[in-house]
Amino acid sequence: MLTQVLNLILSRGISGVAQALALVLLARWSSVEQFAVTAAATGAIVVVCAVCDLGMAGYISKARALGDHPAVRAALAINQVTAMAGYLLTAAVVLIVLDDSMRIPIAILALALFGEKYADTLLGVPIADGARTATTISVTGRRIVALALMFIANGLGIDGVMAYAAGYVGGALFAVVAGRMYIARHTASDGPHADRKIVLRQGVKYMIPYVAGQLRLMDVAIVGALAGPAVSAAYGAGARLGQPALLIPGAIGSVLLPYSATRDSVFARKAGVRLLWGTVGGIVVVLPAFLIPAWMITGLLGEEYASSVDVLAWSLLAIVLIGMSSAVAGVLQGRGEESYVVAVGVLSTVLLLASVAIGAVLGQSVGAAIGLFIGALIRWATHIVKLLWDRSEHGS
């Protein structure tokens, strides 16, 4: 397991750097208003992607680890249909709601986001199998392809948002093809399928906390509604620049969920202690972000984003907590604590978004980032306390 986690951390670290660079280029190649709309739309679409997944990503990973291949086949079939239907509905809404300059780029970006979510769901199979090469190719390859295509599109004179969307579509297509190739080689499609109604009912236990977690990406839209597009862009730039740091704890959680499904409570508590120290280590690593001079951010993004330096620092702290709480939740779900994770996920998301809203009203972009940190701290604490103090022996 340790080798798999380290491999995922390395590959997602590389992809995180590429993702951050893509966001920097988007900020430089687009106006403040375009960046704000893109960031807000991305958050909303990611939430829709999470709903359309129906919890299949987490369900597939655990079912595969337990050797329930009929359930895996049924879940993969369900996910393919819901991803396609979800995109068509989202694209129709985007084309109706947005103005002429943004509707086509955002519709293309929506295709990329649905493609990436579908690829991530497929990735649950090789992760559960411990297939390091397949996960590295998917995770790293998609970001490198996206960044390369973004440069090519810009060189051809395509505007910033469209170049960003085009790059992401290419990266998502790469990841989907890589995922489908692995599935074709390692999962017999003509085998028996589990009852889809049962799979859907079980998937809900994974869907609700996942959707609740993704709802935090509505933060940019909330800040924009309360404080205007300029504040929203400054907040969105700082918060989204820190977002790639979430990939590393996310890698840990994606491995821990299927692994903990076959382990006892002793393993769970040991994992909890390590995740606790991992959180402390992550906070120590990101604290120097408070020392970043403003000229570095304005040099990267432009003068309009001067306040984003403090937003980035507070967001990095929040992202460490959000990421590690997701990793802890993976252990809890693996042990059969899905109901607890569902309840905490919903309540903590409400508190997090409320904290962001209050912060935006009281302290503009920096206040919103501090609110994000407070909400993330509450979420992390409720997960880690449950794992460390749980002495029951239940699980799968």
Three-class SS of residue 305?
helix
Most confident of 7-21, 60-74, 83-97, 201-215: 83-97
- The DSSP 8-state label assigned to residue 58 in this structure reads H
Q: How many CB atoms are closer than 10 A to CB 105? A: 25
Give how far the C-alpha of residue 83 lies from the chain's centroid of Cα atoms, to the nearest Å.
Answer: 16
Give CA–CA dist 387/271, Å, rounded.
9
Mean pLDDT on 222-241? 86
Q: Kindly give the interhelix angle for 69-97 and 56-65, rounded to the nearest 10 degrees.
A: 170
Lowest-confidence pick of 25-29, 76-80, 300-304, 385-389: 300-304
- Report the residue count for the chain: 396
Query: What DSSP letter does each residue of 141-184 carry, written as one string?
Result: HHHHHHHHHHHHHHHTT--HHHHHHHHHHHHHHHHHHHHHHHHH
Give how far the C-alpha of residue 372 lies from the chain's centroid of Cα atoms, to the nearest Å.
Answer: 16
Query: What DSSP letter does each residue of 38-52 carry, written as one string?
Result: HHHHHHHHHHHHHHH
**pLDDT tens by residue, 352-375:** 999 999 999 999 999 999 999 999
- The DSSP 8-state label assigned to residue 193 in this structure reads -
Dmax over Cα atoms in the chain, in whole Å?
Answer: 60
Three-class SS of residue 293?
coil
Q: Are 345 and 213 in contact (CB under 8 A)?
A: yes
Q: Are 334 and 259 in contact (CB under 8 A)?
A: yes
pLDDT of residue 253: 60
Q: How confident is the model at residue 226 (pLDDT cuts 50, 70, 90)?
A: very high
Mean pLDDT over the full length of the chain: 85
Mean pLDDT on 46-61? 91
